[in-house]
Amino acid sequence: MDWWVSMPKVELHAHLNGSIRDSTLLELARELGDRGLVRFPDVECVILKHDRSLTEVFKLFDLIHILTTDHETVTRITKEVIEDFAAENVVYLELRTTPKKNVSKGMTKKSYMEAVLEGIRAVTTVEVDIFSEPNFDCPANAGIYARSDGCARNGTAKKKIYVRLLLSIDRRETTEAAMETVKLALEMRHLGVVGIDLSGNPVIGEWITFLPALEFAKEQGLLITLHCGEVPNQVEIHAMLDFLPARIGHACCFGEEEWAKLKSLKIPVEICLTSNIKTETISSLDIHHFADLYNSGHPIVLCTDDSGVFSTSVSGEYSLASSSFGIQKREMFQLARNAVNFIFEGNKVKLELEQVFDLAAKSLE
Ligand code: 6MZ
């Protein structure tokens, strides 16, 4: 097995609906096609297209959401996505998703998230740690722990993956809708929800719309990551950095002033190489900011963004960074390990992950 696959990895920027297997999307499209709800050949063509601009990506998400937004499918894709990340030795996954309403399916933001939790419980190929500080008074927690405990008692030496959830606010949403998502995150904190993400089409929406909900989330102790500088918007980038998020994603369109500010604030950056190249937010890897941030020792973590949409994987991103920037196995291992410092979890989980990396380091030679 290649080292970039076998070594433990931490994934901190993965959108649920962007990480679906092509085979699952095609199966779902075929079903809707058979029921006359979509024209399968058209949908197939869009799903299998590989190079897409940022604008096309968001059109694709609208199509994916038509295929996936019912409870059963949300459960299925959550299970598959976690199993896929675990299969390539992701040991800690922060999965983000936008809670959705779908009146025709009787779906509320809360029931959407319950379907996600159901998907986590349905994982069979790997032992899943869903939250670190169990509240055994809560029946839902007791259920999850009973299952995971059962795994251990049966002596099935399964691999383990920590899964935490970030609830995304879509830039199309209103202040009220954003606030509803934050309140839901607070309600689901004991179920592995650790933070909030702001994402969606970066040319839509105003920072000021989301600020009240994000400030409230922060006050309540949720950790925040923002899609920042995916398109040029200096005013918004400065406002976002002034907000002091716990991490940012992308940082593609920063100017000198923005880099200086980011570096002085030491805000970790989630780097998504393939996504940036495919959406052409960065024209080529030679000029990607990964190199400068890596060389200056700025906190960074390699991530997939949308492994399904961009046909990539966490292992693929490590392999790509290694070959493109001439970084050897040992340094790549250290890069993966450093990501533990930027997870939205406490010291207990960080220490447990350190042990996973210590063990893996022994077989690195
Ligand atoms: C900004 C993105 C994104 O939430 O339905 N999303 N937002 N930039 C990106 N870079 C390409 N990739 C994905 O997952 C899909 C949603 O995640 C956000 C978009 O809002 C997209 O609709 P969920 O699980």
Atom nearest to 230 CA in ligand 1: 8
pLDDT in tens, 69-106: 899 999 999 999 999 999 999 999 999 999 999 999 99
From the CB of residue 200, how many other CB atoms can be counted at a distance below 10 Å? 19
Our mutation pick for probing the ligand 1 site, out of 16, 56, 61, 167, counting the most ligand atoms within 8 A of Cβ, is 61
Specify the range with the lowest mean pLDDT, choosing from 137-151, 244-258, 279-293.
Answer: 137-151
Give 12's contacts (C-beta < 8 A, 6+ positions apart).
Answer: 94, 225, 247, 270, 301, 303, 339, 342, 343
* Closest to 202 in 3D by CA, of 224, 177, 172, 180: 172
Q: By alpha-carbon position, which residue is closest to atom 17 of ligand 1?
A: 15
List the beta bridge partners of residue 160. Answer: 127
Confidence of residue 321 (pLDDT cuts 50, 70, 90): very high
- Catalytic residue numbers? 230
Give the single-character DSSP code of 164: E
Residue 130 burial by Cβ neighbours in a 10 Å radius (0-12, 13-18, 19+): buried
Q: Is 47 in the pocket of ligand 1 (CB under 6 A)?
A: no
* Alpha-carbon span 208 to 247, nearest angstrom: 19
Q: What is the ipTM of this complex?
A: 0.99
Tokens linked to 30: 């075929």
pLDDT in tens, 13-33: 999 999 999 999 999 999 999
Q: Is 307 in the pocket of ligand 1 (CB under 6 A)?
A: no
Q: What is the pTM of this model?
A: 0.93
